[in-house]
Amino acid sequence: MTARMPDLFSTPPRAPAPRRAPKSAEAFRTISEVADELEVPQHVLRFWESKFPQVKPLKRAGGRRYYRPDDVLLLRRIRQCLYDQGYTIKGVQKLLREGALKSDEALRAPPPAAPTVATPTAAAPKPAKADNLRGELESIRTELMALRDLLKKAPR
């Protein structure tokens, strides 16, 4: 039997850090707290500050940021528009200029659809029963096959 040497380089297991009491709703938050709450990296919040002048955290000596409750609410709305509703940065900037993000109704509205160009042959079928839909699909298939044959015959 050999004696086992103690491992001098391993760290002993630590007890989990005690949880802090949650901050009040009116309390200022650090960038790490806001990033955790919104589930975005800190650098994204800094980027959004450069793109959305409405977000103005209080900066203390050394550049440490403290976000007001209104800033956190605005950042949450920006995040929802960008990540959940599919808006672009420019689209959210336009919403902010128009004041559309001031109400909670703006968060529930889907982004405006991109304009589409309808052509006579590409018109969307109207809702129909299964039999009618099958017939429409077959006519579209026939038309596509005819177009394919025309393309094959076209000089290159």
**Which residues does residue 29 pair with via DSSP β-bridges, in sequence order?**
67
Tell me how far apart the alpha carbons of residues 42 and 40 are, in angstroms, rounded to a whole number: 7
Q: Is residue 84 in a domain?
A: yes
Q: Are 66 and 58 in contact (CB under 8 A)?
A: yes
Task: Give 6-45 pLDDT, tens digit per residue.
Answer: 555 655 666 665 566 677 778 889 999 999 999 999 999 9
What total number of domains does the chain contain? 2
Q: Is residue 18 in a domain?
A: no
pTM: 0.54
Tell me how far apart the alpha carbons of residues 56 and 67 are, in angstroms, rounded to a whole number: 8
Range of 90's domain?
Answer: 29-108
Say yes or no: 101 and 66 in one domain: yes
| CB burial of residue 30 (10 Å; 0-12, 13-18, 19+) | middle
Task: Give 102-111 pLDDT, tens digit per residue.
Answer: 655 544 455 4
The closest alpha carbon to 100, from 115, 117, 114, 85, belongs to 85
